[in-house]
């Protein structure tokens, strides 16, 4: 598809999204600062609703740098922003790490968002899933549906790539932001989630990002780290000097063995 046709298609979908949001008038958006929620928030701001609030939830599952980025995006978009804190490590159903972990986690987080919004007189709750999300194993979507969250990006027919292209068209810096997921996704199902493991993963991924690896996952298998980067960056990671630095850094945060996934990062490996 040519560039002009891509833009034309994006504009149609943006208009459909805007029309759907105008019907709500005032609403709260579950806001992570990622590609999808930043796009949804930007379009929502564009239509000038009567009331719009972005709500971010901080927990031990979310790197502090991601919360700070969400705060920055909300400021740049000039949207009222609330940052809440969830005691996710106090939720035993989550810590047991079953395959439905995301359901229990999202139920706690989205309940917190819903209660906060309702206390402010807001009953329309939005989250930024897209059509591609519906193809993946995402038990958290059930929790969002049960709590009354609606998905306007799905209703408007947006895929992930279309959101990125539309974000670039709107001039959003998030258009090429690497996809993120909570730190709990680095722990294999049925392995109890421990704060120490989350901290090791967070520190390890921050180090790799400091070396210029934008898309990073450090899968935690006990004291063994399985490192994934973008497929086209694996050869750089395997360079002797870089490889040595990574091994030393990850051992420094508590891993005893470090493996490099030569296939690179792909979504859903832990599923």
pLDDT at 85: 98
pLDDT at 270: 56
Could you give the number of structural domains in the chain? 2
Residue 197 in any domain: the answer is yes
Domain that holds residue 153: 3-176
Last residue of a domain, one of 176, 210, 235: 176
Least trusted range by pLDDT, from 69-73, 98-102, 249-253, 267-271 = 267-271
Last residue of a domain, one of 176, 209, 227: 176
pLDDT at 256: 97
Tell me what the mean pLDDT of segment 158-187 comes to: 95
pLDDT at 202: 97
Confidence category of residue 79, pLDDT binned at 50, 70, 90: very high
Q: Are 25 and 146 in contact (CB under 8 A)?
A: no
Q: Are 269 and 219 in contact (CB under 8 A)?
A: yes
Q: Smallest Cα–Cα separation from 223: which of 251, 185, 244? A: 251
| 172 plus 238 within the same structural domain | no
Residue 25 has pLDDT above 90, yes or no: no
Residue 268 in any domain: the answer is no
Q: Smallest Cα–Cα separation from 125: which of 113, 133, 134? A: 113
Percent of the chain with pLDDT over 70: 96
Residue 7 has pLDDT above 80, yes or no: no
Percent of the chain with pLDDT over 90: 91
* CATH number of the domain within which 48 lies: 3.40.50.620
pLDDT at 271: 54
Last residue of a domain, one of 176, 208, 229: 176
pLDDT at 6: 64
Strand intervals (E) in 109-187: 125-126, 149-150
CA dihedral 30, 102, 85, 64 (to 10 degrees): -90
pLDDT digits over 115-165, tens only?
Answer: 999 999 999 999 999 999 999 889 999 999 999 999 999 999 999 999 999
Tokens representing 263 are: 């296939």
Confidence category of residue 8, pLDDT binned at 50, 70, 90: confident
Confidence category of residue 188, pLDDT binned at 50, 70, 90: very high
Residue 267 in any domain: the answer is no
| 95 plus 224 within the same structural domain | no
Tell me what the mean pLDDT of segment 95-111 comes to: 97
Residue 265 in any domain: the answer is no
pLDDT at 9: 80
* CATH number of the domain within which 226 lies: 3.30.1340
Residue 88 has pLDDT above 90, yes or no: yes
Residue 10 has pLDDT above 90, yes or no: no
Q: What is the pTM for the complete model shown?
A: 0.94
Tell me what the mean pLDDT of segment 195-210 comes to: 97
């Amino acid at each position: 598809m040519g560039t002009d046709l891509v833009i034309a298609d994006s504009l149609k979908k943006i208009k459909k999204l805007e029309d759907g949001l105008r019907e709500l008038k005032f609403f709260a958006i579950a806001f992570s600062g990622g590609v999808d929620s930043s796009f949804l928030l930007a379009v929502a701001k564009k239509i000038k609703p009567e009331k719009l609030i972005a709500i971010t939830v901080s927990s031990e599952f979310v790197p502090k740098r991601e919360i700070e980025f969400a705060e920055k995006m909300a400021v740049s978009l000039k949207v009222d922003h609330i940052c809440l804190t969830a005691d996710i490590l106090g939720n035993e159903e989550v810590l047991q790490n079953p395959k439905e972990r995301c359901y229990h986690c999202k139920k706690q987080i989205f309940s917190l968002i819903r209660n906060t919004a309702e206390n402010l007189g807001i009953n329309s709750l939005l989250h930024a899933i897209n059509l591609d999300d519906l193809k993946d194993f995402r038990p958290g979507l059930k929790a969002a549906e049960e709590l009354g969250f609606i998905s306007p990006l799905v209703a408007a027919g947006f895929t992930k790539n279309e959101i990125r292209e539309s974000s670039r068209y709107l001039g959003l810096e998030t258009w090429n932001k690497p996809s993120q997921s909570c730190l709990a996704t680095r722990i294999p199902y049925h392995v109890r989630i421990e704060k120490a493991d989350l901290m090791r993963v967070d520190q390890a991924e921050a180090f790799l990002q400091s070396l210029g690896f934008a898309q990073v996952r450090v899968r935690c298998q006990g004291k063994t780290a399985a490192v994934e980067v973008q497929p086209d960056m694996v050869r750089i990671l395997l360079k002797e000097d870089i490889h040595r630095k990574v091994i030393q850094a990850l051992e420094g945060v508590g891993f005893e063995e470090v493996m490099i996934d030569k296939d690179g990062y792909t979504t859903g490996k832990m599923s």
